A = this chain, B = another copy of it.
Amino acid sequence: MVTDSWQKQLIYTNKIFDNLSDEELMEEVAPGRNRAIYLLGHLTAVHDRMLPLLRFEEAKYPELKPIFLDSPDKAVEAIPSARELRQQWHDVNETLANHIKNLPAEDWFTRHANISEEDFIKEPHRNRLNVLLDRTNHLSNHRGQLLLLKKKI
């Protein structure tokens, strides 16, 4: 159910990104706020880092971190193109989806990568399922902002 909820939010978010042209991606979600392209890069960077955090594999696009995680929007001048980011976004989510599909149910209750085995004994809620719940909320949060770009009829 938690993985379904994750995939559902991804489908909804993709619907928004797919409906935005490359030019529209350059618009801010509200005056003075993040541009849609920054949110695309930000979400890609966050999801990419879920690969090692969930102990699946190494991050595929670590170069996104300084631009879309460590810096606010417009702080870095040269960012990847819309086309490149769209491709990376889909690649990261597909890679994640494959791992998620193949992870046995009981393994969701094992530790994520940012907690040691010793600490995990004391804090068993810091498991992989919790990472997925948290990132689903993170995604919903930004999806709500992206929705503001939807054209009014």
Which among B1, B129, B141, B142 is the interface contact of A130 at CB below 8 angstroms? B1
Which among B1, B4, B130, B148 is the interface contact of A29 at CB below 8 angstroms? B148
Q: Flag A102-131 by CB within 8 Å of B: 1 or 0 each.
A: 000000000000000000000001000110
Give, as a whole number of angstroms, the nearest-CB distance from A43 to chain B.
12
Interface of A is mostly: helix
Give the residues in chain B near A130, CB-CB below 8 Å: 1, 5
| Tally of chain A residues near chain B (CB < 8 A) | 27
Which among B125, B138, B140, B144 is the interface contact of A1 at CB below 8 angstroms? B125
Q: Flag A1-15 by CB within 8 Å of B: 1 or 0 each.
A: 110110001000000
Complex CA gap A147/B29 in Å reads 12
Which residue from chain B places its CB closest to the CB of A127 in the assembled complex? B1
The answer to the question of A136 belonging to the interface, with a C-beta cut-off of 8 Å to chain B, is: yes
Give, as a whole number of angstroms, the nearest-CB distance from A73 to chain B.
12
Q: B-contacting residues of A (Cβ < 8 Å)?
A: 1-2, 4-5, 9, 29-33, 125, 129-130, 133-134, 136-138, 140-145, 147-148, 152
